[in-house]
Homo-oligomer: A and B are copies of this chain.
Amino acid sequence: MKDGPDIALLGALIGNPARANMLTALMSGKALTASELAAEAGVTLQTASTHLAKLEHGGLVRQRKQGRHRYFALADDDVGGLLEGMMGLAVRKGHLRARTGPRDPALRKARVCYNHLAGELGVRLFDSLRRRGFLADDDGALALTAAGADFVRDFGLDPDALRDPRRALCRPCLDWSARRSHLAGALGTALLDRIYDLGWARRQEGTRVVDFTRRGEAAFNAAFPAD
């Protein structure tokens, strides 16, 4: 009979392999249907449905009905951040799945972290923005500077349109492979979307890998120089 936050509930939700598989799949940022998640987790649709109900009840997942489909997604950035954090600890403690395939280096280089860019390139982007003074600490939180807003505009985005009282504009997110922060929040999401729109990269189907084209990577390096 203690008080305080109960981490056992969260742990139990994530601790089931089928649910962990679903959550990992949702880290791709794409909303998936119950059937897709069932296939991803290797269970039938019935069991997937009960798992999803539990995840939703626990606040880890939210669903959006669309016709006769139900699309499931992570509830918010916080959930993505926690999962990324757990992945980081799992890697450091050696808790890896059986087969570490050829995708692994690609994952370390560039992948989506729920809805923003992670991996080496994600970290580079974040560092580059900070070093050039586009992001600054504002009383403990991360803020976009005036110069940063100009940069974002030049990049083809409207910084004012990104502001949303319910969501942080810029938020650091700890990267599991690099052990460094990359950029989350509305700006992180928008920058990744813009990178897709510019044709610099696209998602590898069914994985978290972000494939940059040769020209796209060169353009990325020019836009976000390492130093």
Question: Which A residues are within 8 Å of any B CB, using their own CB?
Answer: 1-17, 19-21, 23-24, 58-60, 78-79, 81-83, 85-101, 103-104, 107, 123, 126-127, 130-131, 137, 139-141, 176, 180-181
Contacts and interface: CB of A to CB of B under 8 A. Distances in A.
A1 B98 contact: yes
Given A7-B83, A93-B58, A127-B139, A2 B15 contact: no
Nearest to A12: B15
Contacts of A11: 10-16, 20, 86
A85 B83 CA distance: 10
Given A4-B96, A11-B20, 9 more contacts: A3-B104, A4-B87, A5-B86, A8-B21, A10-B89, A14-B14, A60-B93, A130-B140, A137-B137
Contacts of A79: 89
A89 B82 contact: yes
Contacts of A20: 6-8, 11
Counted per complex, copies of this chain come to: 2
Contacts of A5: 86-88, 90-91, 95-97, 176
A8 B11 CA distance: 9
8 contacts: A2-B21, A2-B99, A3-B104, A5-B88, A5-B176, A6-B20, A11-B20, A12-B15
Contacts of A83: 7
B3 A96 contact: yes
Please report whether the interface of chain A is mostly helix, strand, loop or mixed according to DSSP: helix
Contact of A90 (B6, B85, B97): B6
A88 B5 CA distance: 8
A79 B4 CA distance: 18
A6 B58 contact: no
